Amino acid sequence: MEVLFLVSAQDLTATSILCQFLRKIRAAWAHSRICRWLHSEPFWLGATPSLLASGFPAALRRPAQPLAAASRATVRESRLLALAAEKAWLLLFAATAYPLIDFALRRGGDPGGLAGTWDEILLFLGLLLIAGRLFYRGIGAWRSSELGLPLYLFCGTFIFLALIRSPETGVAVEGARVYLEYVLWFLVALNLPDRTGQVRTLTAFFVATCTVIALYGIGQYIAGVPVPQSWIDQAEAGVRTRAFSVIGSPNVLGSLLALVLPLACAGFFTAGSRASRAGYAAASAAVAVCLLVTFSRGAWLAAFLGLVLFAAMTRPALLALLATAALAAPAVSPGIAGRLLYLFSSGYLVSSQRSGRIARWQAALDKLWQHPLTGEGLGRFGGAVAARAIPGSFYVDNFYLKTAAETGLIGLGALFFLLVSAWRAGYRACAAVVTPAEKTLAAALLSGLTAVLLHNLVENIFETPLMSTLFWVFLGFLLALPRLAAEQAPK
């Protein structure tokens, strides 16, 4: 039970109403079936450990052992291979700096060149480094996870659907790539770090990167940078522009900031010096302010719920502060108040039913009704691929409905199985780490990932290579934490 409320109620004022309320919730949660299910081991770990649980087929593991043993002396003499195995984790700095690298390359004006392929090249290098580490250290260095079966089923299902529902092969391949390519980053992030300190360094670097992005976005808002009229409904009051920073979209920027905000807060609570704490406080403030001026309602709600989860898992006393901030924000900014109030107006409902989210969601449900099992076909509806290849297509603004329309209930079930298993594995990772600093970091990672999953309910966030890459990278970090701590523990 300690994983949900990592800080005991004694840390609060013993006589406070909040403390008593949290104690009751904590006791009820401890006896709930959901809590017991989250803590329990997935059934496939004990049923088929050789293939499905390990994430690395036993058939490949056995023949490789004699080869590694026979060539160990020769391999050890390779300084280049030794250096690559030791420093492979440094490649992840490029992954966590994805937004800035991508912006720098796109600004060069060659979207069809390196700007369009650099992330694939980086992913290939990551997989190559994993292979080099396994050759140098032996197959035993492969870091398994409980996502073996969900990943196999997910990839197999989408390959199968691409083969049977592909009127246009090129569209189907590109549509399948949206789902299958970026999950490989999970394997890279899970296997390249060697110490928990490396994960902390990478997350700190990511916070610094996003702080720069946030400051640039705040500068845009202050300067009143013009934005497309479609980003602002003319019926809304108090919204003159929206920050998009180097990302190019205020909604994707909001999702990025929702991911990083719990990490910045975790850094503040675990900082070892006053200077570091002040830096993380400034970073948290910059990210929060920039998130507000994106005026992305979905990102606001996702970030708030992510912070609620983080507070519940680490410092329940922060829940009162979050409630106060949520109530005060509309009063401080007329733009925020107008943006939120317009959501509940009849004008928004009419506009949404005519050509907004409600109309798009209904169109996705109609497609699902027509092809309930296998969908319309990968890349053929509701996303970036369809917008380029299918005349008259549009964004559904709900990644899960988009998946259902394209792949039917079969594909949606495979996606949900993977994501639910991933969240459960992240929850179990939070329970497995021991030190308070690691627990706080793990809780922040899980909270940020939860915010991204929630934001996909109103946006196609996983269609963005930036956000899909970062999601799987930080999930890999989260699941690596307990393994790294166990490997570093004194034998």
Radius of gyration of the chain (CA): 23
Q: Are residues 148 and 267 in the same domain?
A: yes
Whether 73 maps to a domain, the answer reads no
Whether 243 maps to a domain, the answer reads yes
CB 408 within 8 A of CB 364: no
Q: Are residues 24 and 170 in the same domain?
A: no
Looking at residue 389, the DSSP 8-state letter turns out to be H
Q: Are residues 4 and 52 in the same domain?
A: no
In a 13 Å sphere around the CA of 346, the CA atoms on its Cβ side amount to: 0
Whether 225 maps to a domain, the answer reads yes
Whether 79 maps to a domain, the answer reads no
Q: Are residues 18 and 160 in the same domain?
A: no
The residue whose two tokens read 């199968």 is: 160
**Stretch 89-116: mean pLDDT, rounded?**
84
Q: Which of 77-81, 109-113, 356-360, 458-462 has the lowest mean pLDDT?
A: 109-113
Q: Are residues 23 and 140 in the same domain?
A: no
Q: Are residues 16 and 135 in the same domain?
A: no
Among residues 55, 76, 60, 45, the alpha carbon closest in space to that of 139 is found at 60
Q: Which two tokens stand for residue 343?
A: 């959501």
Whether 412 maps to a domain, the answer reads yes
Which residue type does 217 have? G
Q: Are residues 103 and 130 in the same domain?
A: yes
Instruction: Give the count of domains, the chain.
Output: 2
Which structural domain, as residue segments, surrounds residue 280? 43-57+87-347+393-488
Q: Are residues 445 and 403 in the same domain?
A: yes
pLDDT band, very low/low/confident/very high, at 8 (cuts 50, 70, 90) = very low
For residue 211, pLDDT over 90 is answered with: yes
Among residues 117, 95, 88, 122, the alpha carbon closest in space to that of 105 is found at 117
Q: Are residues 304 and 421 in the same domain?
A: yes
Q: Are residues 206 and 308 in the same domain?
A: yes
- DSSP per residue, 23-72: HHHHHHHHTSHHHHHHHSPPHHHHH-IIIIITSS-HHHHHHHHHHHHHTH
Q: Are residues 211 and 135 in the same domain?
A: yes
CA distance 85 to 105: 28
For residue 209, pLDDT over 90 is answered with: yes
Whether 358 maps to a domain, the answer reads no
Q: Which two tokens stand for residue 380?
A: 């053929």
Q: Are residues 94 and 10 in the same domain?
A: no
CA distance 461 to 149: 25
pLDDT digits (tens, 9 = 90+) for 273-314: 899 999 999 999 999 999 999 999 999 999 999 999 999 998
CA distance 195 to 486: 10
- 340 burial (CB, 10 Å; 0-12 / 13-18 / 19+) is middle
Whether 149 maps to a domain, the answer reads yes
pLDDT value at position 342?
Answer: 73
pLDDT band, very low/low/confident/very high, at 460 (cuts 50, 70, 90) = very high
Whether 386 maps to a domain, the answer reads no
